[in-house]
């Protein structure tokens, strides 16, 4: 039961944070911001918190980051671009995927560096 509560509270906070970002900046910039920051956080958390409780890790990963980042908005934006400009849509998908993976790798590297100190 504690694990479900951890995911639920993390999910609520992540969804509220994403809504705040989308409210403050355009949906396209917000999409990039939440997906790149969320990718960084998931990499950092994986390296920095491997020995924390399962509840804490679920709160951060499945809860907060899972609801903060948005694959559905990415997909909707991609389909809109695809209908308008095929090559721009392909570039968008490749850039978002590559940037997200690089941010996760950066978070992992910084998290490992923090653990080494």
Q: pLDDT tens-digit profile of 17-41?
A: 999 999 999 888 999 999 999 999 9
Has residue 115 got a pLDDT over 90?
no
Helix ranges (DSSP H) in the chain: 2-24, 27-48, 54-58, 66-68, 71-84, 86-116
Q: pLDDT tens-digit profile of 44-65?
A: 999 999 999 999 999 999 999 9
Which residue, chain included where needed, has tokens 């991609």? 78
Q: pLDDT tens-digit profile of 7-20?
A: 999 999 999 999 99
97 annotated to a ligand binding site: no
Tell me how far CA of residue 108 lies from CA of 31, 62, 66, 78, 111, in angstroms. 21, 17, 17, 27, 5
66 annotated to a ligand binding site: yes
Has residue 117 got a pLDDT over 80?
no
- Domain ranges in the chain? 2-116
Measured CA to CA, the distance from residue 66 to residue 64 in angstroms comes to 6
Q: pLDDT tens-digit profile of 79-105?
A: 898 899 999 999 999 999 999 999 999
């Amino acid at each position: 039961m504690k694990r479900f509560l951890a995911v639920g509270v993390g999910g609520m906070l992540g969804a509220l944070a994403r809504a705040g970002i989308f409210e403050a900046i355009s949906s396209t910039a917000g999409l990039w911001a939440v997906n790149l920051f969320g990718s960084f956080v998931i990499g950092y958390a994986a390296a920095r918190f491997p020995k924390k409780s399962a509840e804490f890790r679920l709160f951060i990963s499945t809860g907060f980051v899972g609801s903060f980042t948005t694959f559905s908005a990415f997909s909707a934006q991609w389909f809109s671009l695809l209908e308008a400009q095929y090559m721009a849509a392909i570039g968008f998908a490749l850039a978002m995927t590559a940037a997200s993976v690089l941010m996760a790798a950066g978070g992992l590297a910084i998290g490992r560096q923090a653990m080494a100190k």
